[in-house]
Amino acid sequence: MSGEHLVGKVLQGRYEILEVIGIGGMATVYKAHCRLLNRYVAVKVLKESLNNDYEILQRFKTESRAAASLTHHNIVAIYDVGEEDGLNYIVMELVDGITLKEYISRVRYLPWKTACDFAMQIGLALQCAHENNIVHRDIKPHNILITKDFIVKVADFGIARAVTSDTLVTGHETMGSVRYISPEQARGGYVDARSDVYSLGVVLYEMLTGRVPFDGDNPVSIAMMKLNDNPISCRIINPDIPLDVEAITMKAIAREQHARYQSAMDMVTDLRTLLDGGTINNEAYDEERNQEEDNMSYQRRRTHTAQRKTKKKNKPSLKVIIATAVGAAVVLGLLVYALMSGGAKEVEVPEILGMTLDEAVSYVEEFGLEIDEKNIEYEPSDEYEIDQIMLQDPGAHQYMKQNKKIKITISTGDSEADIPMPDVTGKSFEDASEILEAKNLSVSRIDEVSESVKEGYVIRQSPSEGVMVSENTSVLLHVSSGSGESKEVPSVVGKTLQAAREAITSAGFKVSISEKESENDIGKVISQKPSKGSTAKEGDYITIVVGVEPEEEEPTATPTPKPVVTEAPTTPAPVTPTPEPVTRKTISIQIPETAGDVVQVKVVANGKVIHDAQHKKSEGTVDIPVEARNDATVEAYIDGQLVMSRVIEF
């Protein structure tokens, strides 16, 4: 009996398998009907490849039964564990909702109160498990369900620990798990409840910012960053996060276990205090909290950046060196995966089933992906209405390289596809619409800037010419909006950041922000590019430089002179140590072939933006000088997408 073809089967004469509701790297999840209790349940069937490892299988059975003893409203209840014809399965509560990963993908990031509420519910679930001597070990948004009433349900307590030894080498599951596991898991060290606290902190970080603390091109680089680097503060990415929320998040993802919350309940307590309107006890943030109301956006970011800059780099201890060596050995298996993947950045594929074509085209762009519009298939369906996407390849929650295309099949409803698609590219939108409507086809439109196609004319169409479709099928036309209207750039020098942003966006431009130290113009725009009176095309970036408070330099200690004694030689005054010289190195950022004609390149070094400007694709590479006294963690973004993250040694 194959685990992928169980629909229609009845397990143990009790669980009637109705449909597939999810496929992962370790198991397939089915919706089923329990004949005995007359209720719907979820049945998770382990992949057959895991059945061959006796140790994993026995551990899975033991720990699944232990997880079944957990009773908590924030934990997906396990009803039964069984085996039939070589298939091992778990019967659990059927939750009507979506995964937290799907929720984050839809909203980008959550309001801080919602994120903290979700984190508190996850923490309560973990505390229940920890009190029963169960460590989850695989907390990530994919394993967390959100109901329509915003109740959080943590899943996979039975599976996660059973396959821990395999999670680093299971193909696409690697990229999902390694982003959330603790540093001690990455190096194969001792794992306890604090490892779950770390993973919860990563999940909270992602809910607040839309990204994880450490990301990279392959699992090896992510694991090594966890072992050697400190994460950028979540408030650097999202300055609207309150100080106390930052404190909770960054404490949870501390690299060393002793520096984190020592229990999930400790973290829950701080989250509850915050949501009830209180403040947490964190002396490191007290002074900054008092200043926050005076300068909401830039003062607090600058203070935090200054704190990071004044920290001296500690030489690695023997313990750290040994741990790093062990970590390198643990992640050796990941190297194979990294080499096979060619080092290309991969992203999780979003679910687009049920969407229309134009909805999906816009949606997947947010993930750096595209719809393969030239190879769309059309098939009749009783389940999906006409124009809805009924199949996608790759499926949701799998991983694929950015700038690759998702293949889709669109439902023709209950009608057969018998109308050949005419070619309307190069025609005006009005003429194209007339031709399509004459064939009983409907029209949807997406406007795009084009240098080569006249405004109002069709650049391309989906479906393409010759594809067979049914009556009332919607045809997506990509229509040129011209090369972009030139407009006068407004003057924003002297305005506050908020006023400048509103003036620029209302004029049809985008905003790029840089910082410069200033004594008198803190929080105000010092300069702008292009300047007042210039013209730029609608949608172009206007770069503004905002004043921030200068960093206070620590005074150099001057030794107290000693009195001269005539009978003895004078003691020479101690020499003031010379600070380490500033060193400059240059990094080169490759502009992708798939990029537009103009891209926005942003570079952050040790939490400070050192470059934020537009560049033409024709430049090929952008060389950026980086200055530092000690090693610098450098991140590079192109059009908001992280393309590089590494430590540069000085």
The two structure tokens encoding residue 529 = 């590019």
> For the packed helices 243-252 and 193-209, what is the interaxial angle rounded to 10 degrees?
140
Q: Which residues contact 516 (CB under 8 A, 6 or more apart)?
A: 526, 545, 546, 547, 548
The confidence score (pLDDT) of residue 539 equals: 66
The two structure tokens encoding residue 576 = 């003031």
What is the C-alpha to C-alpha distance for residues 271 and 119, in angstroms, rounded to an integer? 8
DSSP codes joined into one string, 146-178: EETT--EEE--HHHHTTTGGGGGGSTHHHHHHH
Separation of CA 415 from chain center: 40
- Give me the amino acid identity at 573: A
- Return the CATH number of the domain spanning residue range 346-414: 3.30.10.20
78-83: Cβ within 8 A, 24+ apart? 78/157, 78/158, 79/34, 79/41, 81/158, 82/11, 82/12
What is the pTM for the complete model shown? 0.47
The confidence score (pLDDT) of residue 211 equals: 93
Residue 382 is given by DSSP the state S
What is the C-alpha to C-alpha distance for residues 9 and 356, in angstroms, rounded to an integer? 33
What is the C-alpha to C-alpha distance for residues 248 and 501, in angstroms, rounded to an integer? 30
CATH topology for 10-93 is: Phosphorylase Kinase; domain 1 (3.30.200)
- Give me the amino acid identity at 69: S
Closest CA to 320 of 224, 215, 220: 224
Closest CA to 592 of 421, 403, 410: 403
What is the C-alpha to C-alpha distance for residues 166 and 337, in angstroms, rounded to an integer? 13
Residue 354 is given by DSSP the state T
**Residue 167 DSSP SS3:** helix
Tens-place pLDDT, residues 137-162: 889 999 899 998 899 999 887 554 54
pLDDT along the chain (650 residues), means of 10: 71 93 80 94 84 70 75 91 87 92 90 95 94 89 91 79 39 57 84 93 96 85 86 91 94 92 95 90 57 44 39 41 45 39 58 86 78 84 83 76 81 80 93 93 85 88 86 89 79 87 82 76 87 78 80 48 45 45 73 80 79 83 77 76 68
Would you kindly state where each structural domain of the chain is located, as residue ranges?
10-93, 97-340, 346-414, 581-650
Identical fold for domains 346-414 and 581-650, yes or no, is: no
The length of the chain is 650
Is the peptide bond prior to 555 cis by the omega test (within 30 degrees of 0)? no
**Residue 442 DSSP SS3:** strand
The two structure tokens encoding residue 620 = 């090929």
The confidence score (pLDDT) of residue 433 equals: 94
CATH topology for 581-650 is: Immunoglobulin-like (2.60.40)
DSSP codes joined into one string, 81-106: EEEETTEEEEEEE---EEEHHHHHHH
Place of tokens 């300069």: 527
CB 486 within 8 A of CB 400: no
Please state whether beta strands 405-411 and 370-371 pair in parallel, antiparallel, or not at all (unpaired): parallel
CB 246 within 8 A of CB 229: no
The confidence score (pLDDT) of residue 633 equals: 72
The confidence score (pLDDT) of residue 161 equals: 52
Q: How far is CA 220 from CA 153, 348, 511, in A?
A: 30, 18, 35
CB 622 within 8 A of CB 592: no
Q: How many CA atoms lie within 13 A of 478 on its CB side?
A: 15
> For the packed helices 219-228 and 318-330, what is the interaxial angle rounded to 10 degrees?
170
**Residue 443 DSSP SS3:** strand
Sign of CA dihedral 616, 620, 626, 630: positive
The confidence score (pLDDT) of residue 55 equals: 66
Strands (E), 94-237: 97-99, 144-147, 152-154
The confidence score (pLDDT) of residue 386 equals: 86
Place of tokens 């990415």: 237
The confidence score (pLDDT) of residue 128 equals: 93
What is the C-alpha to C-alpha distance for residues 385 and 366, in angstroms, rounded to an integer? 25
What is the C-alpha to C-alpha distance for residues 180 and 5, in angstroms, rounded to an integer? 32
Active site residue 80: no
The confidence score (pLDDT) of residue 3 equals: 47
- CATH number (3.30.465.10, 1.10.510.10, 3.40.50.300, 1.10.1040.10) of 97-340 reads 1.10.510.10
Q: Which of 80, 117, 138, 244 is labelled catalytic?
A: 138
